[in-house]
Amino acid sequence: MNDIINRLKIEILKGLPGTDIQWQMASSDRFVKNFPRLPGKNARIAAVLILLYPQNGSIHTVFMQRPDYNGVHGGQISFPGGKKEPEDENVIQTALRETYEETGVDPSNVNIIGTLTPLFIPVSNMIVTPVIGWTNEKPEFNHQSEEVLFLIEADLKKFLDPSIVKLKPFEIRGELVEVKYFDYKGNTIWGATAMILHELLIIIRRSGLFLRE
């Protein structure tokens, strides 16, 4: 585990793939062409945590299924996270606080590896910084039922298989579009979460890291 984490830290320090790589997993070609990539002055700050931990001889991460509420991200699968509050010193603290509130993971057990490229999400007017953290053991999860329907513990190795990336039609704000997504055991991971995950996977492939302890 420590060797994997050290190699991942080194690879991140070499430079991030960036926004263009993230947008390779954007929801559709139309979104790629028409959605702004640079935020305006009133964009809000947010952060998510990509939590890595060992399980069954591999490295896992956790996603959460949000309830189907009346909002732009209702019903979606995402990393734990949310908007930055005034009491948060930085986006790392935001990611840790939100993860604790949503999944019950103790922030004091999370070691920070680094951050990925901040992603501007036009529909929610947020700049989201992905924070990568790890724990030496599988965390004790206790998700917040009002904000999280259930958690999805995912083997990161599975995402390195190209066949996991698929296309299907989605109705987004009244328009039917072809959406690119990760199909993880029947769970549809798309949108900003897929874009963030894609950048991490590019770093992993670039490093030659096969995610074995």
Residues whose CB falls within 8 Å of the CB of residue 180, separated by 6 or more in sequence, listed in order: 25, 26, 27, 28, 165, 166, 167, 190, 194
pLDDT in tens, the chain (213 residues): 678 888 899 999 999 999 999 999 987 655 555 565 667 778 999 999 999 999 998 999 999 998 875 544 457 899 999 999 999 999 999 999 999 999 999 999 999 999 999 999 888 889 999 999 999 999 999 998 888 999 999 999 999 999 999 999 887 667 778 889 999 999 999 999 999 999 999 999 988 876 544
Per-residue DSSP letter, 208: T
Assess contact for 130 and 196: CB atoms under 8 A. yes
* Neighbouring C-beta atoms of residue 56, cutoff 10 Å: 8
Q: Which CATH number fits domain 2-207: 3.90.79.10, 3.90.1150.10, 3.40.190.10, 1.10.287.610?
A: 3.90.79.10
The pair of structure tokens assigned to 54 is: 């060992």
Q: What is the DSSP letter of 73?
A: T
The model's pTM: 0.91
Q: How many CA atoms lie within 13 A of 81 on its CB side?
A: 29
Q: In angstroms, rounded to a whole number, what is the distance separating the alpha carbons of residues 83 and 103?
A: 16
* Residue 181 near residue 166 (C-beta atoms within 8 A): yes
Whole-angstrom CA distances from 132 to 32, 47, 49, 58, 106 are 25, 10, 6, 17, 15
Strand positions, DSSP E, the chain: 44-55, 58-65, 77-78, 81-83, 111-115, 119-121, 126-134, 150-155, 165-172, 175-184, 187-190
